[in-house]
């Protein structure tokens, strides 16, 4: 068992914190933004300078799942002064969520440039076992549910076939002047997610949403990994669908 997973379970958590999820992804070769977890304003400014502007700030807390809805995410920060204001802003908003909210720190992260947004996920299906999902982001998944599934393990060739199955595939090829997406990089991410859920039986759901893909390369902007644990979590795992 990964020490990241074992530590989370030891602490009674069934959800990896975002830095933990990204660390686990990076161990499987899934590209993630440059990041650091800090505890003070001075550390935040130093980390942001080291990463390079612009950056993103996010609260790190097991008690706050929907960080954006709680005002605990600030995007596109371009100076030390903005880092200081954003740090105080996300910590203050986290404290408003509840008196018992445990803040583990603040995530300072590279602000990824715009690109095509896609979603890669996986879940443990009661009937079929580990299942991997791929789809385009935004309205394609939220409204059209334009996604495709495969039983793991997934090969590079199968990953590329999955991409061609979604209705929005033309966007990956480049449409109306847009640059084509790096489908080789995406295929590697899909196969890595396949290995991640197969080799870690404690994981019941992976949600990489969005993954930003460019002409050359791709990185995950956000990652959620849910673990099996108590009866309540197993119920959530059994009933939930990726990216809902």
How far apart are the C-alpha atoms of 220 and 143, rounded to whole Å?
21
**Tokens standing for 61?**
């807390």
Tens digit of pLDDT for each residue in 13-59? 999 999 999 999 999 999 999 999 999 999 999 999 999 999 999 99
How many residues appear in the chain?
A: 244
Q: What is the pTM of this model?
A: 0.90
Inter-residue contact 48 to 108 (CB < 8 Å): yes
Inter-residue contact 186 to 218 (CB < 8 Å): yes
Provide the Cα torsion 193, 199, 201, 205; round to 10°.
0
Tens digit of pLDDT for each residue in 155-177? 999 999 999 999 889 999 987 77
Q: What angle do CA 114, 117, 121 make, to 5 degrees?
A: 140
């Amino acid at each position: 068992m990964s020490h990241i997973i074992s530590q989370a379970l030891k602490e009674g958590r069934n959800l990896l914190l975002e830095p933990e999820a990204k660390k686990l992804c990076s161990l499987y070769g899934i590209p993630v933004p440059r990041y650091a977890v800090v505890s003070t304003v001075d550390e935040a400014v130093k980390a942001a300078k080291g990463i390079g502007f612009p950056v993103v700030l996010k609260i790190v807390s097991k008690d706050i799942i929907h960080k954006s809805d709680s005002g605990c995410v600030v995007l596109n920060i371009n100076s030390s002064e903005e880092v200081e204001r954003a740090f105080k802003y996300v910590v203050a908003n986290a404290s408003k969520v509840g008196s018992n909210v445990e803040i583990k720190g603040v995530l300072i992260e590279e602000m990824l440039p715009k690109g095509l947004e896609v979603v890669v996920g996986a879940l443990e299906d009661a009937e079929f076992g580990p299942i991997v999902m791929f789809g385009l982001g935004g309205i394609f998944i939220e409204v059209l549910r334009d996604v495709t599934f495969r039983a793991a393990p997934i090969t590079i060739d199968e990953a590329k076939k999955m991409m061609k199955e979604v209705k929005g595939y033309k966007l990956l090829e480049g449409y109306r002047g847009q640059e084509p997406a790096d489908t080789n990089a995406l295929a590697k991410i899909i196969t890595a997610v396949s290995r991640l859920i197969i080799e870690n039986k404690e994981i019941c759901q992976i949600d990489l949403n969005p993954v930003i893909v460019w002409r050359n390369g791709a990185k995950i902007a956000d990652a959620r990994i849910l673990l099996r644990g108590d009866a309540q979590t197993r119920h959530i795992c059994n009933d939930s669908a990726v990216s809902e």
